[in-house]
Amino acid sequence: MRRILLIAVLLGAPVILQGQKNVDLTVVHRIKAEAFERSKVMDQLSNLADLYGPRLTASPEWDQAANWAMQQLKSYGLANVHEEKWGPFGRSWSVESYTVDMLTPRYSHLVAAPLAWSSPTEGMQKCEVMYAPLTFEHAYDVKKSREELIRYEDKWRGKLKGKIVLMTDAHQPSPSTRPLFTRYTAEQLAEIGKAPAPAIRRDVTVDQLEFPSNPDDVNKYFETLPNSVVNELYDKYDDLRADLGAFFTHEGVTAVIKADRRSHNGIINAEAAGSFTTKKAMAPPSFIVTEEQYSRMQRLVEKKQPVTVGIDLKAKYSDSDMNAANIIGEIPGQKKPDEVVMIGAHFDSWHSGTGATDNGAGSAVMIEVMRILKALNLPLDRTVRIGLWSGEEQGLFGSRAYVDAHFANIKTGEVKPEQAKFDTYLNLDNGSGKIRGVYLEGNDAMRPLFEEWFAPFRDMDVSTISLKHTGGTDHLSFDDAGLPAFQFIQDPLDYETLTHHSDVDTYSHAIPEDLMQASAVIATLVYDIANRSEMSPRKVTVQNGKLVRY
């Protein structure tokens, strides 16, 4: 077989893997050579992370990085490269500078980061801190969390004016024995590959949710809920957070400080302070500091020792809602140009790091996939399209807007003409770990196809095919519209333990070999899907212009 493959490559003749009639090994060889020997993926990532840095949706940094990405795609020969506006999204917000220092009883410069959409301070503010913790004990139960917020407001009303509030209860957490950097073992992949346990799909609204009392059962409960209900639940938590910020502003709080309790790693996990929309008031200046430094201040205050902190935050923001945009480009198909295979990753990030593993890595890989396909000038029957999404971190907003505009209204189930011509969507958004397999989202009919497509990469440990659902990223927008859409299984590395939404989400934590492997795998899948005689099987049908799920 090896000799036949070598001769075929030299002569330019196609070699079809025995038993895998849809996999052309000559093309696989060419893709691997381009992806490994002439890779540009780390160059793409360096530009995104090092040069342009964090890419908060609707921020100037996002716009600058998007302009660069579009120029790259055009330089590789893609057609129809453009920004596709959607919105309104909310405020533009960007950090200019900040300082957080403990001034008394001893000076200490605090390792901190502002939370997004915080109000700026009017110069340096030096105030006494007050320990007023709020921990929502009933995770994801909006009704109970709302009751907790009401009790919190009743307790602290009239007591917080001019104070810097310590919000986190940072009593000594249990030591963590979890390694910081891991790859999946064979046993773990076997567990992922097991079929999910049967579970009745719950046709409920957010107000009807009844979460289990055991926290370990919450994730299982989530798997029984429609994606639309989960998205609505997250929206309600954004409202809850915004209402807390409004309470602090009304009470005259100078600033808010929280702790990052990620296992004493000195990491800062910075997300949002409050609402990003103009419908809600901005939160007061809000920061997160390392658990080690925060707990020192907490212990001092609990011992009746006054603590003074100086805070200065300069931030630019808009007073009106801004439209956001997705980045779109394509390679037109030669025989079936109206049929579309799509790849994508979210382009936005949080702001304390440089958005390298979440999700500059996924964006760089997908840009690289398009480069490989154009560099090799591979024949593609169907159009191959890339989508780089904004607003993912706030609730899959960019991909949901794109799907609503082109394929189907997720809320009503009403389909649009483009839905019938859409083939498959592939997404990458779990850090920089190499691909180990794929989540099928319950689409049984896709198993034999992925087994074929993965065959040339089994020696790179790409073999796990799981029927299970995986949440939290943009393939869900397409799946909700009745389209075949998939997220890859990737090695964890240090994504959850260190880099996810943190200040160490930087280029240094990306693994070049893993991203080159992912580029080769996805480019091969795209080639195979784009040239397959039939479109990928779906989990839904369309009747009378609306989605009907099996």
What CATH number is associated with residue 267? 3.50.30.30
- Are 440 and 542 part of one and the same domain? yes
- Are 285 and 157 part of one and the same domain? yes
Reported confidence tier of residue 68, pLDDT bands at 50, 70, 90: very high
- Are 354 and 333 part of one and the same domain? yes
- CATH code, domain carrying 473: 3.40.630.10
**In the predicted model, what is the mean pLDDT of residues 479-486?**
96
Q: With 70 as the cut, is the pLDDT of residue 395 above it?
A: yes
Residue 358 falls inside a structural domain: yes
d(CA 364, CA 371): 10
- Are 40 and 121 part of one and the same domain? no
Residue 118 falls inside a structural domain: yes
- Give me the pLDDT at residue 8, please: 42
- Averaging pLDDT over each range in 133-137, 268-272, 437-441, which range is the top one? 437-441
Maximum C-alpha span of the chain: 82
What burial class does residue 352 get, using C-beta atoms within 10 Å of its C-beta: 0-12 exposed, 13-18 middle, 19+ buried?
Answer: buried
Over residues 120-166, the pLDDT tens digits come to 999 999 999 999 999 776 667 888 889 999 999 999 999 999 999 99
What burial class does residue 517 get, using C-beta atoms within 10 Å of its C-beta: 0-12 exposed, 13-18 middle, 19+ buried?
Answer: buried
Q: With 60 as the cut, is the pLDDT of residue 205 above it?
A: yes
Q: With 60 as the cut, is the pLDDT of residue 19 above it?
A: no
Residue 363 falls inside a structural domain: yes
- Are 123 and 242 part of one and the same domain? yes
Residue 189 falls inside a structural domain: no
Q: What angle do the packed helices 512-530 and 361-375 form, to 10 degrees?
A: 50
Residue 233 falls inside a structural domain: yes
Q: Which domain holds residue 292?
A: 93-183+195-317
Q: What share of the chain is helix, strand, coil (3-state, %, to 5)?
A: 40, 25, 40
Compute CA distances 328 → 54, 344, 347, 407, whole Å. 20, 9, 11, 15
- Averaging pLDDT over each range in 192-206, 208-222, 398-412, which range is the top one? 398-412
Which residue carries 């500059």 as its tokens?
A: 360
d(CA 298, CA 171): 8
- Give me the pLDDT at residue 216, please: 72
**In the predicted model, what is the mean pLDDT of residues 526-548?**
95
- Are 111 and 82 part of one and the same domain? no
Over residues 22-63, the pLDDT tens digits come to 689 999 999 999 999 999 999 999 999 999 999 999 999 999
- Give me the pLDDT at residue 227, please: 75
Are 418 and 407 a contacting pair, CB within 8 Å? yes
Among residues 289, 317, 345, the one where a domain terminates is: 317
d(CA 386, CA 395): 20
Which residue carries 């943190």 as its tokens?
A: 502
- Are 311 and 329 part of one and the same domain? no
Compute CA distances 167 → 152, 275, 487, 502, whole Å. 11, 18, 36, 19
Residue 303 falls inside a structural domain: yes
- Are 164 and 267 part of one and the same domain? yes
- Averaging pLDDT over each range in 140-144, 435-439, 497-501, which range is the top one? 435-439
Number of alpha carbons in the 13 Å side-chain half-sphere of residue 359: 24
Which residue carries 């989202």 as its tokens?
A: 441
Which residue carries 């994508």 as its tokens?
A: 344
**In the predicted model, what is the mean pLDDT of residues 342-368?**
98
- Give me the pLDDT at residue 98, please: 98
Beta bridge partners of 90: 322
- Are 147 and 74 part of one and the same domain? no
Among residues 250, 282, 317, the one where a domain terminates is: 317
- Give me the pLDDT at residue 542, please: 93
Q: Is 480 or 211 the better-scoring residue by pLDDT?
A: 480
> What's the domain count of the chain?
2
DSSP string, 13-67: ---BPTT-TT-BHHHHHHHHHHHHHS--HHHHHHIIIIII----TTSHHHHHHHH
Handedness of CA 517, 519, 522, 524 (dihedral sign): negative
Q: Is 466 or 269 the better-scoring residue by pLDDT?
A: 466
Least trusted range by pLDDT, from 213-227, 269-283, 455-469? 213-227
Average pLDDT, the chain: 92
- Are 255 and 349 part of one and the same domain? no
d(CA 253, CA 412): 43
- Give me the pLDDT at residue 218, please: 77
Peptide bond into 359 cis (omega under 30): yes
Among residues 294, 317, 340, the one where a domain terminates is: 317
- Give me the pLDDT at residue 310, please: 98
- Are 348 and 441 part of one and the same domain? yes
Number of alpha carbons in the 13 Å side-chain half-sphere of residue 209: 25
Q: Is 476 or 237 the better-scoring residue by pLDDT?
A: 476
CB atoms within 10 A of CB 179: 9
CB atoms within 10 A of CB 537: 13
**pTM score above 0.85:** yes
Least trusted range by pLDDT, from 147-161, 207-221, 339-353, 446-460? 207-221
Residue 70 falls inside a structural domain: yes
Residue 190 falls inside a structural domain: no
- Are 463 and 533 part of one and the same domain? yes
What backbone torsions phi and psi does residue 68 show, to the nearest 5 degrees? Answer: -60, -45
- Give me the pLDDT at residue 3, please: 41
